[in-house]
Chain A
Amino acid sequence: MNRSRETKALISIGIIGLVILFGAPHSLDLFSVISLTTAVSLAILALSLGLIWGFGGILCFGQTAFFGIGAYAYAIAALNFGGSTGAILAALIVAAASAALLGYFMFYGRLSDVYLAVITLTVTLILYSVIRRTSGPEYKIGIAKLGGFNGINVPPINYPWDATQFLYPEHVFYVAMVALLLAYFLCVWVTKSHFGRVSVSIRENELRSELLGYDVRLYKLCMFTIGGAIAGLAGIMFANSIGRITPDVFNLYNAALAIIWVIIGGRGTLIGPVLGALVLFYMTSFLGQQSVVNINLFLGLVLIVFVLVVPKGIVPSLIQLWDQRRSRRMTARSAKKMRRRGRSRVKEAPVEE
Chain B
Amino acid sequence: MDLFAALVLQIIYGIANLVLISIGLAVIFGMMRVINLAHGEFLMLGGYSVIVATNNGVNIWVAMFILAPLIVGLIGLIVEWCLIRFLYGRMVDTLLATWGLSLFFIGLITTIFGAQTATTISAPFGAITIGEYSSSGYELFLICIAVLMIILVYLLLRYTKLGLVARGTMQGADMAASLGVSTQRVYSTTFGIGAALTGLAGGLLAPITGILPTSGAIYIGKAFITVISGGTAILAGTASASVLLGAINGIVAFVIGPTMGEVALLLLAIVLLRLMPQGITGRFFKRSL
Chain B residues whose C-beta falls within 8 Å of the C-beta of A301 in the assembled complex: 100, 104
Any A CB within 8 A of the CB of B141:
no
User: Which of B2-10, B46-54, B219-227 lies at the binding interface?
Assistant: B219-227
Q: Are B86 and A308 in contact (CB under 8 A)?
A: yes
User: Given contacts A122-B225, A122-B266, A308-B97, are A115 and B259 in contact (CB under 8 A)?
Assistant: no
Q: Are A303 and B273 in contact (CB under 8 A)?
A: no
Closest residue of A by beta carbon distance from B112: A294
> Nearest Cβ distance between residue A262 and chain B, in whole angstroms?
10
**Hey, what's the 0/1 contact readout for B112-154 against A, CB within 8 Å counting as 1?**
0000000000000000000000000000000000000000000
Chain A residues whose C-beta falls within 8 Å of the C-beta of B102 in the assembled complex: 252, 256, 300
Out of A108, A109, A119, A256, name the residue touching B99 (CB < 8 Å).
A256
Chain A residues whose C-beta falls within 8 Å of the C-beta of B103 in the assembled complex: 253, 256, 296-297, 299-300, 303
Closest residue of B by beta carbon distance from A291: B111
Q: Are A304 and B262 in contact (CB under 8 A)?
A: no
Any A CB within 8 A of the CB of B63:
no
Q: Are B92 and A303 in contact (CB under 8 A)?
A: no
Q: Are A130 and B262 in contact (CB under 8 A)?
A: yes
Q: How far is the CA of A252 from the CA of B39 in the complex (A)?
A: 13
Q: Are B111 and A126 in contact (CB under 8 A)?
A: no
Any A CB within 8 A of the CB of B62:
no
Q: Are A114 and B91 in contact (CB under 8 A)?
A: yes
Any A CB within 8 A of the CB of B175:
no
Chain A residues whose C-beta falls within 8 Å of the C-beta of B189 in the assembled complex: none
Q: How far is the CA of A306 from the CA of B104 in the complex (A)?
A: 14
> Nearest Cβ distance between residue A134 and chain B, in whole angstroms?
8
Any A CB within 8 A of the CB of B274:
yes
Out of B93, B105, B271, name the residue touching A307 (CB < 8 Å).
B93
User: Given contacts A114-B91, A252-B217, A294-B111, are A307 and B259 in contact (CB under 8 A)?
Assistant: no
Interface residue count for A (Cβ, 8 Å)? 44
Q: How far is the CA of A123 from the CA of B267 in the complex (A)?
A: 9
Q: How far is the CA of A15 from the CA of B221 in the complex (A)?
A: 43
> Nearest Cβ distance between residue A123 and chain B, in whole angstroms?
7
Out of A106, A118, A295, name the residue touching B107 (CB < 8 Å).
A295
Any A CB within 8 A of the CB of B96:
yes
Q: Are B107 and A119 in contact (CB under 8 A)?
A: no
Q: Are A296 and B104 in contact (CB under 8 A)?
A: yes
Chain A residues whose C-beta falls within 8 Å of the C-beta of B19 in the assembled complex: none
Q: Are A129 and B35 in contact (CB under 8 A)?
A: no
Any B CB within 8 A of the CB of A105:
yes
Out of B95, B99, B100, B266, name the residue touching A123 (CB < 8 Å).
B266
Closest residue of A by beta carbon distance from B221: A125
Q: Are B263 and A111 in contact (CB under 8 A)?
A: no
Q: How far is the CA of A351 from the CA of B103 in the complex (A)?
A: 39
Q: How far is the CA of A130 from the CA of B260 in the complex (A)?
A: 8
> Nearest Cβ distance between residue B132 and chain A, in whole angstroms?
28
Q: Are A297 and B107 in contact (CB under 8 A)?
A: yes
Chain A residues whose C-beta falls within 8 Å of the C-beta of B214 in the assembled complex: 252
> Nearest Cβ distance between residue A177 and chain B, in whole angstroms?
30
Any B CB within 8 A of the CB of A298:
yes
Instruction: Give residues 236-289 of B contacting A (CB, 8 Å).
Output: 258-259, 262-263, 266, 269-271, 273-275, 277
Any A CB within 8 A of the CB of B183:
no
Q: Are A125 and B104 in contact (CB under 8 A)?
A: no
> Nearest Cβ distance between residue B79 and chain A, in whole angstroms?
10
Q: How far is the CA of A129 from the CA of B105 in the complex (A)?
A: 22
Q: Are B35 and A114 in contact (CB under 8 A)?
A: yes
Chain A residues whose C-beta falls within 8 Å of the C-beta of B95 in the assembled complex: 59, 61, 114, 117
Q: Are A105 and B270 in contact (CB under 8 A)?
A: yes
Q: Are A118 and B262 in contact (CB under 8 A)?
A: no
> Nearest Cβ distance between residue B2 and chain A, in whole angstroms?
28
User: Given contacts A300-B105, A307-B93, are A109 and B217 in contact (CB under 8 A)?
Assistant: no
Q: How far is the CA of A125 from the CA of B221 in the complex (A)?
A: 6
Q: List 12 A-B contacts (CB under 8 A).
A: A114-B33, A119-B225, A123-B266, A126-B221, A129-B262, A252-B102, A299-B107, A300-B102, A301-B100, A307-B87, A307-B97, A308-B83
Other A-B contacts than A114-B95, A304-B104, 13 sampled, CB-CB below 8 A, are A105-B273, A113-B91, A118-B228, A122-B224, A122-B266, A122-B269, A125-B217, A129-B262, A252-B214, A294-B108, A296-B106, A297-B103, A308-B83
